[in-house]
């Protein structure tokens, strides 16, 4: 079966918007430093691009989480497969995520990280799907809202494929 991918957000649109987010973060955190916690694997491309657009000092760290349960819908119970290494107590943290869908994963994750007493904690998400939201998670820095379609590229996968596409696309199965 061959997949056809139609472009939803082009490479230049992504890069321009991420630059804007980086400038906004640089203004908001002027005189401070920030710990960026990238959620593996999907947010890696967003993290590299975003961090290069931020002018205040940044530290980068990584976490990998998975939802318990099966299927395409996350359940709200997260399992930490890889934890961050930096001590975040008293520090300004921005969680960097690829996409907020139902909001279960990020609601649970922000709660868990909040227990480590950061000075502040915010969320940057490249994409969000407002139609699918169940949990009211606040996205402080949002790249784009996308329709209720399964998207790939710029870090996002379909069965581990397509992460390396430089744009965001929608997969259509040709059958």
Q: Where does this chain bind ligand 5GP (CB under 6 A)?
A: 42, 74, 97-106, 150-152, 156-158
Q: In the complex with ligand 5GP, which residue's Cβ is closer, 26 or 163? A: 163
Rounded to a whole number of angstroms, the minimum distance from the CB of residue 63 to ligand 5GP is 11
Contact 154, 166 (CB under 8 A): yes
Q: Which of 165, 92, 161, 88 is nearest to 124 (CA)?
A: 92
Structure tokens at 124: 């940057």
Comparing CB distances to ligand 5GP, the nearer of 8 and 91 is 8
- The full DSSP string for 58-98 is EEEEEEEEEESSSSSS--S-EEEEE---S--TTSEEEEEEE
Q: How far is the CB of 99 from ligand 5GP (least distance, A)?
A: 5
- Would you call 61 a catalytic residue per the annotation? no
C-alpha span between 59 and 54 (Å, rounded)? 11
Catalytic residue, from 61, 83, 101, 174: name it: 101
CB of 90 to ligand 5GP, least distance (A): 28
Shortest distance in whole angstroms from residue 156 CB to ligand 5GP: 4
**Coil vs helix vs strand at 38:** strand
Q: Annotated active-site positions, please?
A: 101
């Amino acid at each position: 079966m061959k997949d056809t991918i139609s472009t939803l957000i082009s490479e230049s649109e992504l890069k321009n918007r991420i630059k804007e987010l980086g400038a906004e973060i640089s203004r908001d955190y002027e005189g401070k430093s920030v710990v960026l916690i990238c959620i593996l694997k999907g947010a890696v491309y967003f993290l590299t691009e975003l961090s290069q657009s931020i002018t205040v000092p940044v530290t980068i760290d990584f976490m990998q989480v998975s939802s318990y349960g099966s299927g395409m819908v996350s359940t709200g119970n997260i399992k930490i497969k890889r934890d961050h290494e930096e001590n975040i107590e008293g520090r300004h943290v921005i969680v960097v995520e690829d996409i907020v869908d139902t909001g279960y994963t990020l609601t649970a994750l922000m709660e868990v990280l909040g227990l480590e007493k950061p000075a502040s904690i915010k969320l940057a998400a490249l994409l969000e799907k407002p139609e699918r939201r169940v949990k009211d998670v606040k996205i402080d820095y949002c790249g784009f809202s996308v329709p209720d379609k399964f998207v790939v590229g710029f870090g996002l996968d379909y069965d581990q494929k397509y992460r390396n596409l430089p744009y965001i696309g929608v997969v259509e199965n040709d059958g």
